[in-house]
Chains A and B, each alone.
Chain A
């Protein structure tokens, strides 16, 4: 895929979270915290990484999605800041870096 729309990205991230966390689709809201609200543990973040890489054809740096600080949280408490929107934004950024166009 050379081009993704914003809503395609959001829906695919949502489907990854539903599958990996067996979450109720209605619980996947932009502000929902993936660890605190949706119950992700370390192994689920590995699972989410694997699924995102497959769907979006991206390579996420190892340990970037982790319950430990240092990855996506940029030193902050991941449990308190990693929400669905942050993950969607991260995927968008990864897509842009690989030269994929994102449209509305």
Chain B
């Protein structure tokens, strides 16, 4: 018999600002978090907007006790540490009262690690005594170009780039000496991180796992790079309406950034210490399309497969699902394929289950999207309110389900399903349930 797993804490750093309250206010009121990018000069960029976290919204110094560590934290890691601090506080977990060897960390992060704006800007600094600068810049010689460039950047820069740094710093700060994993499966990363954390507790490897994801692709590389792949909306004029999942005029996603961290805990462990319970996690599945790098198979078999397996894992029938939080990126392909896959799994019931895309409001947080969307599901469960898909104006004949258009909807819900997919073809599905049983659910 597997251990039951509950969510006992949550923290979020989002383009609405810091904390669960602001996040819920934003997504439940259908407010777009889109902004014109201020962090760097986006003149002549094909895409000039994103769901950016501005410096007045988040100050890492308020969350990180070891101030001198901030210099080696990427922007994404800073968000992650802020969200982890909030999550631990909301769980009421006192690190001195836990067995540290049974507190794990599993975090979803970006592929090669975030490339921060400030990291690039460091290159303007120079080491005047470096002999290399006296010679001519060696064009067409990548080895020598890097020798010169790296000679100019701060020597601790490599520690900013490593993808496992969020998980490492969280472990140090919270004395989590249990298993420590970083999952980098592009936009599926944080959903898989939470799923794997769920398994660790089910199997009894850890009592507590600090999990979720963090990413910050709102940087020149992210904004230009995703545009080069043709997946971003270029609707600069009406940027608050750019992200419009399932709408007929959708033309790509809006980049976002942020971190969502959850505390997963063994139910009995949580009950013994009288911790809060936000929901129970009951099902998870991960798989791969094994098809193409960025195309989804037209019939969405990979997506259908993870939804089917997660339902089976949870021992839940499709008709019992009260709400689906879609991956819903707002690209023409994703939303159509996800719709088909939902129909494939749910049959006629697909038309009855409300589906919404949080990305319509907060944009696409890349590696962190699954965690932010799971937090959305948990808040929906606790408030009995479904956040909407905003900017939904014109139905697409190929996307003909109930997408909770434009306004939140009150509904009695008990079971939520959350989808996440990523470039590379990885798919993950998580299923949550309102907590029922001994102990008091958290209000």
Q: How far is the CB of A75 from chain B (nearest CB, A)?
A: 25
Question: Could you tell me if A57 and B156 are in contact, using CB atoms closer than 8 angstroms?
Answer: no
Task: Kindly identify, within residues 45 to 83 of chain A, every residue whose CB is under 8 Å from any CB belonging to chain B.
Answer: 46-47, 49-50, 53-54, 57-59
The answer to whether B154 and A47 touch across the interface, beta carbons within 8 angstroms, is: yes
Cβ of A43 and Cβ of B156 under 8 Å apart? yes
Q: Do B125 and A43 touch across chains, with their CB atoms under 8 A apart?
A: no
**B67 / chain A contacts, CB cutoff of 8 Å:** 22
Interface string of A13-47 (1 = CB under 8 A from B): 00000001111000000000000000100011011
Q: Contact partner of B71 among A23, A47, A49, A58, CB < 8 A? A: A47
- Residue in contact with B68 in the complex, picked from A39, A49, A50, A59, CB distance below 8 Å: A39
From B68, B127, B128, B159, name the one whose CB has the most chain A CB atoms within 10 angstroms.
Answer: B68
Give, as a whole number of angstroms, the nearest-CB distance from A5 to chain B. Answer: 21
Main secondary structure of the interface of B (DSSP, over half): loop
Say whether, besides A20-B68, A22-B68, A39-B68, A47 and B156 are in contact (CB < 8 Å): yes
Contact yes or no, A54 B125, CB < 8 A? yes
Q: Does B72 contact A (CB under 8 A)?
A: yes
Interface residues on B, range: 10 to 19
Residue of A nearest to B126 (CB): A54
Cβ contacts under 8 Å, B70 to chain A: 22
A46-B156 in contact (CB<8A): yes
B154 partner residues in chain A, CB cutoff 8 A: 47, 50
CA A53 – CA B125 in complex, angstroms? 12
- B155: interface (CB < 8 Å): yes
Contact of A49 among B125, B128, B155 (CB under 8 A): B155
In whole angstroms, what is the CA distance A50 to B128 when docked? 11
Question: In the complex, which of the residues A23, A44, A54 contacts B127, with contact meaning CB atoms closer than 8 Å?
Answer: A54
A43 touches B129 (CB 8 A): no
Q: Judge whether A21 and B68 touch: CB under 8 Å.
A: yes
A57: which of B72, B125, B128, B155 is its contact (CB, 8 Å)? B128
Contact of A58 with B155 in the complex, beta carbons under 8 Å:
no
Beta-carbon nearest neighbor of A46 in chain B = B155
In the complex, residue of chain B having the shortest beta-carbon distance to the beta carbon of A56: B129
A59 to B130, CA, bound (A): 8
Complex CA distance for A88 and B73, rounded to whole angstroms: 29
List 20 contacting pairs A-B, 8 Å CB cutoff, sorted by A.
Answer: A20-B71, A21-B68, A22-B70, A39-B68, A43-B72, A43-B156, A43-B159, A44-B68, A46-B155, A46-B156, A47-B71, A47-B156, A49-B155, A50-B155, A53-B127, A53-B129, A57-B129, A58-B129, A59-B127, A59-B129
Instruction: Kindly list 17 other residue pairs between chains A and B, CB separation below 8 angstroms, not including A21-B68, A50-B127, A57-B128.
Output: A20-B68, A22-B67, A22-B70, A39-B68, A43-B156, A43-B159, A46-B155, A47-B154, A49-B155, A50-B154, A53-B127, A53-B129, A54-B125, A54-B127, A54-B128, A57-B129, A58-B129
